[in-house]
Amino acid sequence: MKKKLIFIFILILILAPVAIIVFSSSAHYYREDIENCQNCHTQDGDLIFINTIKEAKYTGTESCKDCHQEIYDAYMKTQTGHSMSRMTPSNMIEKFPQDYTVYDSSKNYYYEMIRNGAKFFQREYRLDPAGKVVHQRLMEVQYIIGSGTNLRIYFYNENGMYYELPLTWYVHKQKWDLSPGYREFNNNRFSRFVSNMCFSCHNGHMFQLNNANNRYKNPIHTGIGCEDCHGPGDIHIRQIKDNAFSDLPDNVLTTVNPIKLSPERRNDVCLQCHLEGKSWALHDKKSWFDFRPGLLLNNHRSVYTTQKQTVHTFNVANTGSRLFMSPCFKDSHGQLTCDFCHPSHNVFEVDKVRFNRQTCMKCHPMEGLPMRESRFAESREDCNRCHMNTVPATNTLHGVVDTDHWIRINSDLDPINWYPERHHAEKLILVPVIDKDDIGKELRHGIAYSEYYFTEDREKYYLDSAYYYLGEGLKKNTSSIYGNYYMGRIESERKNYKKALEYLNKAVQLDPNYADAYYEIAKVNKLQKNYSSAISSIKNAIKNKDGEAIYLEFLGILYYEADSIKQAIEVLNRSIEIDSQNPNVFFVLGNISIFKTKETKKALEYYKRAVYLDPDLPDALVNLGNTYALLGQYDKAEETYKKEILFRKNSINALVNLGKIYKMQGKINEAIGLFSRAKVIDPSVRF
């Protein structure tokens, strides 16, 4: 009997690791399944939530409609319910036709939104001094991010990868302008893709393809949905509709109702999107879509903000960190939750001023208020007016009206200027808002500085800070995959290529499927002209993610530079099949056609496509002009060189080549003038 009990106990231990599969696939769920898999679910107090496991399937908001019609109808009218949508005539709120063009003086582009029947397009063009169009590009508007309350940003879909368009509709201003950041920082034109971090909050759960970065399974659902706050719905739907999981105890739940969560976990449902910080670090090998309502956010990511907090340092997605600064939150000892002031499902048919006042009075009854000290007798009805500062649309990068959740006395007296927050004169010291106190603490701090350096500011201070914290962290945990990966990238930036390869190779030893690490190894090897090793590494990256167009482009360029022309053409064409909007791939194929395979007409088509996609791509217009000249189309060559000189007046190659055409045509004075201009720019130039 004793031996039999021992055998049963061992059997349970053996089965426990696979119980996670039972959770998501079994038609029947029993009490002993819970007992056998204590780490597969989320326990919060006496309650157990079994849909928080990574394997639980998302079913989409529509699947909730049959049982929750009233809530569904109310929620779909909220801002979050249509945070993302298709662009159609039925949901159009913009002004058409556009009565003015938007001009970007830094890059000399004009933009306009065009409607053609049921379709919408954004047009980019450039003019010469006479007003003639010398460049234009047209892209269809397919999707919108933004409910129409503050702004609407537009996107197009390229084989499951979504790219932002340059023109945005600013609702409060009722005007068209460049998309957020495009005017103030850099006009990315049509090349800014939507990362999984962005999509994880601006849309509901999306199914990311395993063979590429930031590429998603089509078609996608649109809008933040029920499951973003309640967790994946598959187990719950099977319980209700198929009578599965019928033997569950009362304290075991198949869906998360945030109101039943403890305060920290309840707030984390909201903070997954309202605590962006200045930088962040995902834990272990988690992705932005791995967080489940009911889990603790500090087990999924660490979020960092600036050490110095002022009246100015609040941003659109940082309401959480500002709330933490409030006496209301501190005095509640963490018990104050978002839904104390924000009703579930955002039912908005309420008098907001009255609702907010009643909410505040739960903790601040009227008889306890310093009535005579109020600056505005009439403002006693509106607590927010004095205690939660509001920023107008004219003073924010995104053009939104935002409320500072740092609740304090006389907050409305603090004038808000976001300019210093976007153009930092001082170096930022990053401190954690949420984090875990464990062996990986320094590593995550280093990753946060690395992310800030790579994505926001290439100031050496951030590079050095990343190097310091990663170094301290790796002393404690040498087997951190991410720690070695980021330290390898930082060492490469410091031009310590030998050390960079040591760290990056350690990362792929720890995780042989780490495609991005192989890509970084290939980049370091290329910098050292070690083409065979670079090709081998990027092939390993592609083996793990064969649908990543950037990897294919990189391999094609390596083959080209290594004079493996047949392989280069094959790989670059594969890249185009995935992403046909990358001008550099067409440019490289043009170079191969003109310099290697001697297919001049084919080169012409590649160069024309590259220039259409990006007229400022270095050497693209010059090479196009040269190709026209080789084909004897001197009028086209002349036109192209003139365009290059118009766009870049100091283009020596265009000046010299146009001069040669003029000389050949007997226009000696014009030729001499162009040669002289080239000589002034570079005295060493030869004709």
> Which CA distances in Å does 498 have to 190, 492, 592?
36, 9, 32
Q: Which of 197, 194, 199 is nearest to 281 (CA)?
A: 197
Residue 3, pLDDT score: 41
Contact 63, 233 (CB under 8 A): yes
Both 216 and 354 in one domain: the answer is no
pLDDT greater at residue 412 or residue 368: 412
**Residue 671 domain boundaries:** 582-687
CA-CA distance, 298 to 435, in Å (whole number)? 5
Domain CATH number, residue 684? 1.25.40.10
CA-CA distance, 595 to 618, in Å (whole number)? 17
Both 200 and 329 in one domain: the answer is no
CA-CA distance, 287 to 200, in Å (whole number)? 10
pLDDT greater at residue 580 or residue 398: 580
**Residue 502 resides in a domain:** no
| Confidence at 10, pLDDT banded by 50, 70, 90 | very low
Give the model confidence (pLDDT) of 95-150 as tens digits.
Answer: 888 999 999 999 999 999 999 999 999 999 999 999 999 999 999 999 999 999 88
Q: What's the whole-number mean pLDDT along residues 414-441?
A: 86
Residue 398, pLDDT score: 66
* Helix, strand, coil tally for the chain in percent (to 5): 50, 15, 40
pLDDT greater at residue 655 or residue 5: 655
Total number of domains in the chain: 4
**Residue 518 resides in a domain:** no
Contact 113, 167 (CB under 8 A): yes
Both 400 and 282 in one domain: the answer is yes
| Confidence at 4, pLDDT banded by 50, 70, 90 | very low
Q: Which strands, in side-by-side order, build the sheet including 42-44?
A: 42-44, 47-49, 252-253
Is 70 exceeded by the pLDDT of residue 153? yes
**Residue 51 resides in a domain:** no
**Residue 447 resides in a domain:** no
| Confidence at 353, pLDDT banded by 50, 70, 90 | confident
Both 121 and 187 in one domain: the answer is yes
| Confidence at 380, pLDDT banded by 50, 70, 90 | low
Is 50 exceeded by the pLDDT of residue 363? yes
Residue labelled with tokens 């800030």: 452
Helices (H), 260-416: 263-274, 319-324, 327-331, 352-361, 383-387
**Residue 487 resides in a domain:** no
Both 272 and 401 in one domain: the answer is yes
Is 70 exceeded by the pLDDT of residue 5? no
**Residue 139 resides in a domain:** yes
Both 279 and 409 in one domain: the answer is yes
Q: Kindly report the average pLDDT of the chain as a whole number.
A: 90
Both 10 and 108 in one domain: the answer is no
Both 273 and 313 in one domain: the answer is yes
Residues in the chain: 687
**Residue 489 resides in a domain:** no
DSSP helix/strand/coil, 236: helix
Q: What's the whole-number mean pLDDT along residues 593-607?
A: 98
Both 188 and 328 in one domain: the answer is no
**Residue 532 resides in a domain:** no
Both 390 and 282 in one domain: the answer is yes
Both 281 and 408 in one domain: the answer is yes
CA-CA distance, 274 to 320, in Å (whole number)? 6
Q: What's the whole-number mean pLDDT along residues 601-612?
A: 99
Query: Could you tell me where the beta strands, DSSP code E, fall in 286-355?
Result: 301-306
Q: Mean pLDDT lowest for which of 6-15, 206-215, 531-540, 573-582?
A: 6-15
Both 40 and 74 in one domain: the answer is no
Last residue of a domain, one of 179, 210, 228: 228
Give the model confidence (pLDDT) of 616-629 as tens digits.
Answer: 999 999 999 999 99
Is this prediction's pTM over 0.85? yes
